[in-house]
Structure formats: structure tokens, C-alpha cells
Amino acid sequence: MEKPGDSWGFLLFIDRAVFIFPIIAIYYLGIDTISALSAVIIGVIFLIAFIFLTPQRISISMAIEYWLREGRKNG
């Protein structure tokens, strides 16, 4: 049975993966200040791109959910 909020999981995972995983990598790998600053600048660029590309991100998330849902139906 389809539920109205099924596609939120993929959207949240993609958003968290883009922003949280680099922070964890910088912290645990002990990257120096210059590299961390470069990563922050690149992250800001990605953030701006994510804001402008929100309709495409939601469309991709819904397409993945549809693909998985149809795969479950077909066995």
C-alpha cells in the first residue's frame, strides 16, 4: 500500500549524505585547516546548487521510490 510520505526517506538521506559525511571525514581523518576551509567553500557552493536544484532532487527521490515500489510489486 502506498503512503503519502514514502519519498521523504530518500530526499533526507541524500541531503544528509552531502553535508554530514564530509564533516565526519574531516573530523576523523584529521584534515588540515586549508583543506577543511576548501571543503567548506565547496560545501557552500553545493548548498547554493541544492537550493536552486530542489525540484530536480525531489524528482529523483520520487523516481527512486517509484522504481523500488514497482520492483516490490513485481516480485
Locate the domains of the chain by residue range. 42-75
CA distances from 39 to 16, 18, 31, 52 (A): 16, 12, 10, 20
pLDDT for the residue 1: 46
pLDDT band at 41 (very low <50, low <70, confident <90, very high): confident
pLDDT of residue 10: 66
Q: With a cut of 60, say whether residue 11 has pLDDT above it.
A: yes
Q: How confident is the model at residue 4 (pLDDT cuts 50, 70, 90)?
A: low
Name all contacts of 7-11 with Cβ < 8 Å and 24+ positions apart: 7/58, 7/61, 7/62, 7/65, 9/65, 10/60, 10/61, 10/64, 10/65, 11/57, 11/58, 11/61
Cβ neighbors of 60 (< 8 A, separation 6 or more) are: 10, 14
State residue 2's pLDDT score.
Answer: 60
pLDDT at position 34 over 50: yes
